Structure formats: C-alpha cells, structure tokens
Amino acid sequence: MAHSNEPVRIAFCITDLDPGGAERALVQLVTRLDRQSWEPAVFCLAGEGSLAAQLRQADIPVTCFGARGMMSLPRVLWQLARELKRFRAALLQTFLFHGNIVGRVAGWWAGISPIVSGVRVAEKRSRWPLRLDRWTNALVVTNVCVSQAVADFSIAEAGLSPAKTVAIPNGVEVAQFEHAVPARLEDLGIPTGSRLLVAVGRLDPQKGLKTLVEAAAPLLTQHPDVHLLLVGEGPERRMLTAMIQARDLSTQIHLAGWRADVPEILARSTALVLSSYWEGMPNVVLEAMAAGLPVVATRVEGIAELVQDDQTGWTVPIGSASELQTAMSQVLSDPERARQMGQAGQELVRSQFSWDAMMRRYDALYRQLLTTAAPIR
C-alpha cells in the first residue's frame, strides 16, 4: 500500500441494504474503518434499504440502483461500472451472491484491481448460479469467508482456490447486548414474566421456520406461559401465518416483522433458536450469546465454531423437528443449566469476537493486497 497523505478510496458493493446479517456486518466494517487511511463508498444493487440512512449518517456515500429482478441487472451492471469508474476506487469489496456476480464484472470493467468477495453461507448452488460464481471468481484476488467451515465447504463444493481463500469471522458489539434493557412486548401479546423463545432472521425457506413452528407447537400447548417470537420479514410470512392459525397458536406464536430493538428483545428472551438449513456464521447467534442467552441451533456450517454442545447451548440435526423440540424442552425444564450456558457463551464471545477485531483483520488484508496483488487482466 503506497504511502500518501490522501486516504485510499475503497468501494463496497452489496445486493441490498435491508437489515440482514451481511448487510449489518457491512455497516459495522465500513463505519469502523480509519477514515484517515480509507475513503469508503457503498454501492447497492437494490433500492434504498433501511441501513442506507445509517451509512449516510456516518458520512459514507451510498448509491442505490433500484434493481428489481433479473431483467434489471444489465442496466444496473452498466450503471455500477460507470459509478465505480467515476469513484476511482483502488479496491472493491463485494458481498452476497448478486452483489458478488455483478460487482466483480462491473469492477473489472471499471479497471479496479484487487477485487475481494465475501462468502457468507455454505450453500450448494444449482448449476447456473454455481457456474456464474466460478466464472466471475476468476476476477477475484481473495475470497473472505465468515468461518473456517464455510471456507472448507467453498473450497470443496464451489471449487474456490485455497490459495485465495481466507476466513474472517463476524463480530458483535458485546456491550450493546450485555447491557440492553429488556423490551416490553405486551403490544405483541407477550405478557410480562412469560418465557420467550426467539428466532431472528428473514422469513425464508433457508431459515427452516416451518420446522421450528412444527417443533414448538407441542411445547407451547404443554406450557401456556411460553411464547415464540419470530423477528423478521420475508416470503414465508403468509405460509407461517396459516400454520400458526391452523394449530390455534396465534396467542403464543408472534410474527413481529423487522424490529430495531433486537438487543432489547434478546434481553427479554429465554433462549435463541436457529433452525436454518444453511448458514455461514450467523450474526444473531453472536448477538444472542453476547446477551447471555443459551442457543439452540441446527448443525449448519459455522455453528460448531460458536455453539459448543452442552457448554453454550444445544445443536441438533438440520430439519429434525423432534430433536429441535427436545432441545427447546431442555431449555425450559432446566433454567439454571440454561443460564450457565448463556454465561459461558457470553464469555466466549467477549474473548474471541468483536467488530473491531473483524475490522482490523479486513484492514490488514486490504493493505496487504494493495501492496502485493497483481492486477487481473
């Protein structure tokens, strides 16, 4: 990295800026970079997400292109390449599948090298998405995976080169969750003093929420004081609403939509439940552990690096409603053990994970690449 009094321009490209795990990690990374060393700008393929305002409040320019479906991607690709060329970035970092594909090509057109891509989930892709990812990955100098498990999966299943794949785990602001004041959720029909299981994330098939509702239904029938709160939005809302109504559990299972008070909701909760079919390193698990909650999670990639069975929580096979039910039952039947697991998880996160640690590792990577990376032609 050349010595200069001017900060180095660095561009970030992401699919959208709705409050998902990748999007929130981007905000934390970009806002923590040393502005005397770096001049960041964010480019979003979709329309204005709620996190765009947060970035602008930190004096980070955000450009959103309003992509709506595949037909709009050629237009967005051309516009992104034009804006990247105008910005004259020394390095481009891309996130999420569409942000990676479009960002890589646009960055190449704009003459940017090095290009760095984020790999956040261990997901087996179908034929054409996998080919697109492999073809455009030839333009990438380094792939950054959110866990070693995702890195290993991506090398084995997606054909990434081990030589250009590294793992940088997500972080969490421990104090924000450790000291949060418990939310009052009576407006959602959750009485003060009731026990609360919570799941946070998109209402999407990836998250396995149908399995979660199936697993929770018998427990909620047995324990009228227990509630399940699903925080998030997505395409499965209608299906989940119908499932809940069919089981006559509308007074115990609540769809809250996206909420800004996730730290306060976690502080009010008894345990976090993650029922996903695939993940990378789920931010919400780090957040729940920072809040001192025990975690019940499926054995997706990245979870083993966070949730230690019978120490910080329980892990169960993917898609097993019966084993998910058993684990949630253990949380409810042994509150002292659950409390001890929550404390152990909090200590683990405090000692090994933080947003500042994540930022420092990205900063070091960017500096190394700007010094050593050969341009891709």
- Closest by CA position to 170, among listed 359, 364, 367, 368: 359
Tell me what pLDDT residue 2 has: 53
Tell me what pLDDT residue 280 has: 82
Backbone angles phi, psi at 36, to 5 degrees: -80, -20
Domains and CATH numbers, the chain: 8-171+354-372 (3.40.50.2000), 174-352 (3.40.50.2000)
Tell me what pLDDT residue 43 has: 99
Backbone angles phi, psi at 29, to 5 degrees: -65, -50
| Bridge partners of residue 313, in order along the sequence | 295, 309
Backbone angles phi, psi at 153, to 5 degrees: -60, -45
Tell me what pLDDT residue 299 has: 95
Tell me what pLDDT residue 373 has: 66
Tell me what pLDDT residue 7 has: 97
β-strand 62-64 against 8-14: which pairing, if any?
unpaired
Give the pLDDT means over successive 10-residue stretches in the chain (377 positions). Answer: 79 94 94 98 95 97 92 92 98 97 98 95 73 93 93 89 94 93 96 97 96 98 98 97 98 96 98 94 93 97 88 97 98 97 95 90 97 69
| pTM for this entry | 0.77
Tell me what pLDDT residue 19 has: 86
Residue 340 CB neighbours (<10 A): 14
Q: What is the Cα 208 distance to its own chain's centre?
A: 16
Q: What is the Cα 56 distance to its own chain's centre?
A: 21
Tell me what pLDDT residue 1 has: 62
